[in-house]
């Protein structure tokens, strides 16, 4: 069963091929009849139409009947797989045998329709004359039919292989996309226990300070935020407005901890709110600013979160008024949040298309700056030319 399925898949349909070949013979026969009739009219001949049909139509009608056999022989003895010498010998022999049969049938029918002639007084003599004149022609017709069949078969095979290759590439691309999404999901889920640990640690600190109402408020907001991140199947990217909504919930939790000493400024341009960004991409930057910048410095503190378009990129920035990176003469080690963010950006956009920069700013504090490809649809992200056209 498997071999039969493979054979049928690798060859053109025999019935369709036979009908097409027979139709081609019919078309050639009609053209030959029309040509002979026009030539007789031009030359002023008086040969009746029945003679034209007998000479040309009968010839091609017989070839029409033989074409299914030619196609079957072509399928049975292909030239692939290093068998071309053997196939050539077989088809040369078969073409001669088939041509002799065709000429014998044509000569017999011709003698029956036209009767004895000076060059064909008997059936055998008529067949001999046609064989001497047209055997090479018949062999050429056989070869032409066979060559045409193989040309269409190889074209169909090439088309099928190209389609299968394209489908295989599509499956590989979908598999790769699924793998990337799985990696991004795993990286995103890594943030939850990290953030949860920090939030619970902050809540326990409030309890130790006997700020029980603030601790309860923080835990309630924390539960609401975690329910959003855990119970919802987030896509690889969300709109910036949705990301800001998530981030605002996180900032509300931190405001319970810091109280009045922390002032948060939101500077989000209206024309970038529909841009697509990875979900929870800003939360590690804000958490890093609060933990390593503002929490280490007593007194009033400021946190500024901004988003704007810069050419073909979306710029997201988080700036704090803390001590700065090199206040103690050393650059801090990059923790889970920032390394996770870099890994997610690399998975989603590639190692060069997105950037994360963290640096001191004049006047004190640190600014974390994200540059992402600006796009509002997945198509724009995958096709840089589309994004460039919209710039």
Residue 359, beta-bridge partner list: 367
Tell me the domain boundaries of the chain. Answer: 2-169, 211-389
Q: Give 63's contacts (C-beta < 8 A, 6+ positions apart).
A: 25, 29, 102, 141
Digit-coded pLDDT (tens) for 141-168 = 889 888 888 888 888 888 888 888 888 8
Q: For position 53, what pLDDT does the model report?
A: 67
Segment 276-333, tens digit of pLDDT: 998 888 988 988 888 888 888 888 999 999 999 999 999 999 999 988 886 545 455 5
3-state helix, strand, coil in the chain (%, to 5): 70, 10, 20
Task: Give the single-character DSSP code of 319.
Answer: E
Residue 10 binned pLDDT confidence (cut-offs 50, 70, 90)? low
Which stretch of 109-113, 197-201, 331-335, 340-344 has the lowest confidence by average pLDDT? 331-335
Residue 61 has pLDDT above 80, yes or no: yes
Both structure tokens of 98: 């088939």
Phi, psi of 121 (to 5 degrees): -70, -20
pLDDT band at 240; cut points 50, 70, 90: very high
The rounded distance, in Å, linking the Cα atoms of 40 and 53 is 13
| Number of other residues whose CB lies within 10 A of the CB of residue 53 | 16
Give the model's confidence band at 252: pLDDT under 50 very low, under 70 low, under 90 confident, else very high.
confident
Please tell me the distance from the alpha carbon of residue 105 to that of residue 121, in angstroms, as a whole number: 17
Q: At the topology level of CATH, where does 211-389 sit?
A: Heat Shock Protein 90 (3.30.565)
Band (pLDDT 50/70/90 cuts) for residue 390 is very low
The residue that leads in pLDDT, 49 or 362, is 362
**pLDDT tens digit sequence for 174-190:** 656 655 655 555 555 55
**Total count of residues recorded for the chain:** 391
Q: Take residue 269 and report the two structure tokens written for it.
A: 């341009």
């Amino acid at each position: 069963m498997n071999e039969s399925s493979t054979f049928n898949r690798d060859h053109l349909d025999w019935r369709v091929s036979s009908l097409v070949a027979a139709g081609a013979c019919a078309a050639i026969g009609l053209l030959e009849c029309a040509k002979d009739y026009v030539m007789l009219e031009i030359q002023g001949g008086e040969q009746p139409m029945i003679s034209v049909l007998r000479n040309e139509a009968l010839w091609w009608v017989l070839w029409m009947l033989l074409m299914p056999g030619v196609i079957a022989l072509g399928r049975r003895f292909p030239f692939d797989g290093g068998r071309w010498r053997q196939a050539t010998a077989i088809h040369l022999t078969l073409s001669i045998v088939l041509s002799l049969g065709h000429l014998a049938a044509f000569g017999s029918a011709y003698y029956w329709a036209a009767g004895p002639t000076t060059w064909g007084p008997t059936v055998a003599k008529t067949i001999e004359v046609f064989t001497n004149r047209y055997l090479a022609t018949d062999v050429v017709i056989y070869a032409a039919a066979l060559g045409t069949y193989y040309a269409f078969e190889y074209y169909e095979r090439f088309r099928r292989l190209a389609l299968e290759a394209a489908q295989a590439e599509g499956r590989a691309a979908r598999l790769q996309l699924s793998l990337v999404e799985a990696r991004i999901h795993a990286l995103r889920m890594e943030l939850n226990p990290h953030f949860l640990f920090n939030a619970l640690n902050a809540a326990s600190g409030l309890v130790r300070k006997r700020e029980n109402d603030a601790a309860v408020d923080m835990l309630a907001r924390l539960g609401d935020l975690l329910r959003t991140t855990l119970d919802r199947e987030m896509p690889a990217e969300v709109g910036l407005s949705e990301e800001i909504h998530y981030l605002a919930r996180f900032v509300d939790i931190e405001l319970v901890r810091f109280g009045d000493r922390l002032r948060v400024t939101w500077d989000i341009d209206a024309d970038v709110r529909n841009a697509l960004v990875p979900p929870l991409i800003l939360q590690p930057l804000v958490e890093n600013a609060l933990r390593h910048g503002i929490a280490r410095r007593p007194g009033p503190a400021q946190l500024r979160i901004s988003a704007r378009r810069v050419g073909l990129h979306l710029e997201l920035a988080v700036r704090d008024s803390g001590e700065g990176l090199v206040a103690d003469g050393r650059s801090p080690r990059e923790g889970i949040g920032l390394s996770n963010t870099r890994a997610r950006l690399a998975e989603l956009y590639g190692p060069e298309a997105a950037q994360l920069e963290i640096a001191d700013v004049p006047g004190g504090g640190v600014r974390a700056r994200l540059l992402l490809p600006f796009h509002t649809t997945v198509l724009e992200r995958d096709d840089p030319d589309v994004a460039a056209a919209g710039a």
